[in-house]
């Protein structure tokens, strides 16, 4: 039995209790603390790495002189990255686990080196309430870059639903061409069976400035009533203005297995791509001793090591130390608006993405992601980012050479000092006002995908603080119809409750 299945089966009663606890919470659950046995060892800021683990596929569009073929190669890259992106690099037998909730200011830097040169990744958690991750992947030699930001909202409607808010663009500098890349919504099924798996559903588009468009339609067993339709998709590439019924290329198959590219005009198979066997280039990071305390693998090292050993208590202790330090650091700036972002600047809009979005009837509201985030490329090229990134301040609210117990609790953003030693003020303040989360709702669960009966709800001693619950007597349908999103205070109350319940005691 896999580690994932064993962990979930051994903790099934606790998992069921956890789901019962959060199933009555209204609003977004993305920042909720989960018990250690459902956690992955990766943080959310590490997940963008799966978009570039095949650098030759990532840069391939730049090498084509035909705009239709470039559109096809962008689609090929997008589909080929989905499997590991959704499973976070785990096997299907292991299933999926919940990534660690990235903390405000957490960064992840990596690169890949192979025959196409050096491909780099810089990602940063630019907001915690709501959680927003910004990232940039680029290969300077081939002039290919992908940049974007996303906020995830997690709710229950019989399954775990992950709604992605934000956008990404892919730019080919040699052709002065930009593509709007979709961020598909995800459903996580099979949680209580010990074999959770992701499913993509819906129709998405990849518009471009070249005049070519791709459309991708995802299927599932629920739609097509056939087991071979799990993880299936069908995509088309066509000229803008032409009907989808007149595609230039058709791509069909499974995003977790084999998909086939077909040239419609010539009626020939162009390529058969197997994502399970296609070569991936190893990701490279600096040695841990050379990384900054704010880099993911240093900050979460205690949690990761404990999870890999199966030490759930140790994972809970290390996780709580970091999370408690973060809450204390931001206690007078709960939405993090005055925190200095490192690699990304906050803007009011992304005009290129907006114009591409208009082609498919998609509008962007930067307030939903706090701002329109842009990588500070000029500063990067000038080498202006130096370690330690935040002076002696560490993510757990201690300073270098200081223990957690010795931490001074009235420093950092609590008194306006950020990103450096005492006296250094915010250099790049957020330009957008923080907005509250969009109203979302949850539905009770029993087992895998059923609604809770009243008897399945937590006992009184396990009830979430009343400030976080729906109105008394409110039916599931009424909750689904739209209730106000939780405030920061409500979310913190829920996190405190879940942390005390599922983590080590005495904190």
DSSP summary character for residue 465: P
**pLDDT at residue 270 tops 50:** yes
Q: Are 32 and 503 in contact (CB under 8 A)?
A: no
Would you say residue 59 has pLDDT above 70? yes
Which DSSP symbol is given to 451? Answer: P
341-395 residue pLDDT tens: 999 999 999 999 999 999 999 999 999 999 999 999 999 999 999 999 999 999 9
Q: How many CB atoms lie within 10 A of CB 491?
A: 24
Confidence grade of residue 97 (pLDDT, cut at 50, 70, 90): confident
Look at residue 381 and give its three-state secondary structure.
Answer: helix
441 pLDDT higher than 50 = no
The alpha carbon of 24 is separated from its chain's Cα centroid by a whole number of angstroms, namely 24
pLDDT band at 417 (very low <50, low <70, confident <90, very high): very low
Q: Which residues contact 376 (CB under 8 A, 6 or more apart)?
A: 343, 344, 345
Q: Model confidence at 326, in pLDDT bands (50, 70, 90)?
A: very high
Residue 84, φ and ψ in degrees, nearest 5: -75, -25
8 A C-beta contact, residue 154 and residue 162: yes
Note whether 119 and 26 are within 8 A (CB): no
Angle at 131 (CA atoms; ends 150, 55), nearest 5 degrees: 40
Distances (CA, A) of 384 to 117, 121, 146, 181, 388: 23, 17, 22, 30, 12
Q: Mean of the pLDDT values across residues 480-505?
A: 45
pLDDT at 400: 81
What is the average pLDDT across 319-328?
A: 93
Taking CA atoms, 175 is separated from 75, 240, 420, in Å, by 17, 18, 40
Contact assessment for residue 441 and residue 479, using Cβ atoms and an 8 Å cutoff: yes
The count of C-alpha atoms lying within 13 angstroms of the C-alpha of 305, restricted to the half-sphere facing its C-beta, is 9
Closest CA to 416 of 346, 340, 492: 340
Pick from 177-181, 363-367, 412-416: least confident: 412-416
pLDDT of residue 189: 82
Q: Give the CA distances from residue 198 to residues 341, 354, 451, 497, in Å, rounded to whole numbers and listed in that order.
A: 31, 29, 20, 28
Other CB atoms within a 10 A radius of the CB of residue 145 amount to 21
Q: How far apart are the first and last CA of the chain?
A: 34
> How far apart (Å, rounded) are the C-alpha atoms in residues 96 and 189?
10
436-456: b or e for each residue (b if 16 or more CB lie within 10 Å)? bbbebbbbbbbeebeebeeeb
Domain ranges in the chain are: 1-183+285-382
Mean pLDDT of 204-209: 98
Compute the C-alpha angle 457/459/461, nearest 5°: 140
SS3 305: helix
Question: Which of 167-181, 199-213, 394-408, 460-474 has the least mean pLDDT?
Answer: 460-474
Any residues with CB less than 8 A from the CB of 85 and at least 6 apart, and which? 47, 50, 51
pLDDT digits (tens, 9 = 90+) for 135-173: 999 999 999 999 999 998 888 766 788 899 999 999 999
Distance CA 298, CA 83 (A): 27
Nearest to 282 by CA among 78, 89, 97: 89
- Residue (of 357, 365, 366, 51) closest to 205 by Cα position: 357
**What is the reported pLDDT for 337?**
74
407: number of Cβ within 10 Å: 18
Query: Which carries the bigger pLDDT value, residue 382 or residue 222?
Result: 382
* C-alpha torsion 458→463→467→472, nearest 10: 50
284, two tokens? 């490279």
Residue among 158, 152, 157, 108 nearest 132 (CA): 152
DSSP helix/strand/coil, 416 = coil
Beta strands in 17-63 (DSSP E): 39-43
């Amino acid at each position: 039995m896999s580690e994932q299945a064993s962990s979930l089966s051994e903790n099934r009663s606790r998992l069921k209790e956890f789901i019962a606890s959060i199933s009555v919470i209204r609003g977004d659950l993305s920042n909720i603390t989960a018990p250690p046995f459902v956690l992955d060892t990766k943080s959310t800021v590490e997940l963008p790495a799966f978009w570039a683990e095949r650098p030759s596929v990532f840069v391939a569009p730049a090498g084509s002189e035909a705009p239709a073929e470039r559109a096809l190669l962008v689609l090929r890259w997008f589909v080929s990255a989905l499997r590991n992106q959704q499973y976070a690099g785990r096997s299907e037998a292991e299933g999926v686990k919940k990534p660690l909730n990235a903390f405000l200011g957490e960064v992840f830097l990596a690169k890949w080196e192979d025959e196409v040169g050096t491909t780099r990744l810089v990602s940063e958690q630019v907001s915690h309430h709501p959680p927003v991750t910004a990232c940039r992947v680029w290969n300077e030699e081939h002039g290919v870059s992908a940049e974007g930001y996303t906020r995830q909202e997690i709710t229950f409607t019989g399954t775990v639903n992950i709604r992605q808010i934000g956008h990404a663009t892919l730019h080919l500098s040699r052709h002065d061409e930009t593509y709007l890349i979709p961020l598909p919504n995800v459903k996580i099924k099979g949680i209580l069976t010990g074999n959770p798996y992701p499913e993509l559903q819906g129709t998405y588009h990849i518009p471009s400035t070249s005049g070519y468009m791709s459309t991708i339609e995802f299927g599932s067993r629920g739609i097509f009533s056939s087991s071979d339709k799990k993880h299936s998709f069908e995509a088309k590439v066509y000229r803008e203005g032409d009907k989808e019924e007149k595609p230039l290329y058709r791509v069909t198959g499974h995003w977790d297995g084999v998909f086939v590219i077909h040239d419609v005009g010539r009626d020939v198979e162009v390529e058969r791509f197997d994502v399970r066997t296609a070569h991936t280039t190893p990701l490279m990071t600096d040695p841990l001793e050379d990384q900054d305390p704010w880099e993911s693998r240093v900050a979460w090292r205690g949690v990761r090591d404990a999870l890999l050993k199966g030490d759930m208590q140790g994972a809970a202790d290390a996780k709580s130390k970091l999370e408690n330090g973060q809450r204390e650091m931001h206690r007078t700036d709960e939405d993090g608006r005055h925190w200095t972002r490192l690699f990304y600047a906050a803007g009011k809009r992304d005009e290129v993405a907006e114009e591409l979005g208009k082609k498919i009837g998609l509008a962007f509201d930067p307030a939903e992601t706090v701002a329109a985030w842009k990588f500070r490329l000029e500063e990067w090229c000038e080498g202006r980012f130096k370690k330690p990134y935040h002076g002696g301040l560490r993510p757990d609210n201690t300073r270098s050479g200081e223990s957690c117990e010795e931490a001074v609790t009235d420093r950092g953003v609590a008194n306006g000092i950020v990103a450096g030693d005492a006296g250094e003020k915010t250099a790049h303040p957020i330009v957008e006002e923080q907005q509250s989360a969009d109203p979302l709702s949850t539905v009770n669960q029993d087992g895998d995908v059923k609604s809770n009966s009243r008897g399945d709800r937590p006992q009184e001693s396990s009830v979430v603080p009343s400030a976080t619950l729906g109105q008394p007597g409110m039916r599931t349908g009424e909750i689904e119809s739209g209730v106000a999103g939780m405030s920061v205070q409500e979310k913190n109350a829920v996190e405190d409750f879940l942390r005390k319940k599922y983590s080590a005691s005495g904190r």
